[in-house]
Amino acid sequence: MTILEILEQSWDNFIKYYIGQGLLWSGYAYTLALSAITVLFGTILGSLLAIGKRSKFKPLGVIITAFVEIIRGTPALLQLYLAYFVIPMLLKMPGLSPFTSVAIAMSLNSAAYTSEIIRSGIEAVDKGQTEAARALGLTEKTTMLKIVLPQAIKNILPALGNEFITVIKETALASTFFVGELMTTYKTINGINYQTIPVLLDIGVFYFILTFSLSKLLGVFERRMKKRA
């Protein structure tokens, strides 16, 4: 098969399946929904983990550290499998959808990485800021919310944006459970026409367009933040 033939088949698949049957927009919708859920809950949980890790209650810090290291030290696909089979049993909900199980697993995975991003962002703030606030009589909680976090956000947001792009690419793992995202559409079409390379080429282009567009938007956002700083 020549390169020209591959490109022709890729275009035919794009017109017939992705546009004609709406698989492109469906795949994008599931990919973005799964990514948004992951980043939202991953950020919330990651923030709690980062704050908890800095707690003076040592056992809590040990538990959080163990959780983060286990998540970061095991493959994401393994975590998805465990979530798919274990979470429904733990929640006693055998009818739990694959999408929900995958979203929970990816949120926990993202939380582990996000917690380190937030922790490093907090620690990057000059300690003198905290000492000055405490000297003025502010409580530890108020100091964190009013003094430290607003400054840390400038360091955290760009890294969170990169995490969002990474999550989008990692949603391809969810195709193992046919949740409907872009990589699942590849399996659907490949099961019909067995044109592996042309369909993979389409998928690669779709992911690139999505991540490249988001990276440019994040770049614009970062430049605006620098101008306001």
Is residue 45 scored above 70 in pLDDT? Answer: yes
Three-class SS string for the chain? CCHHHHHHHHHHHHHHHHHCCCHHHHHHHHHHHHHHHHHHHHHHHHHHHHHHHCCCCHHHHHHHHHHHHHHHHCCHHHHHHHHHHHHHHHCCCCCCCHHHHHHHHHHHHHHHHHHHHHHHHHHCCCHHHHHHHHHCCCCHHHHHHHHHHHHHHHHHHHHHHHHHHHHHHHHHHHHHHCCCCHHHHHHHHHHHHCCHHHHHHHHHHHHHHHHHHHHHHHHHHHHHHHHHC
pLDDT on residue 17 = 87
Is residue 219 scored above 70 in pLDDT? Answer: yes
Q: Which tops the pLDDT comparison, 106 or 224?
A: 106
Q: Model confidence over 98-149: pLDDT tens digits?
A: 899 999 999 999 999 999 888 888 887 777 777 777 777 777 777 777 777 7
Mean pLDDT of 53-65: 86
CATH class of the structural domain 3-228: mainly alpha
Q: Model confidence over 200-214: pLDDT tens digits?
A: 999 999 999 999 998
Is residue 71 scored above 90 in pLDDT? Answer: yes
Mean pLDDT is lowest, of 6-15, 86-95, 109-118, 197-206, for 86-95
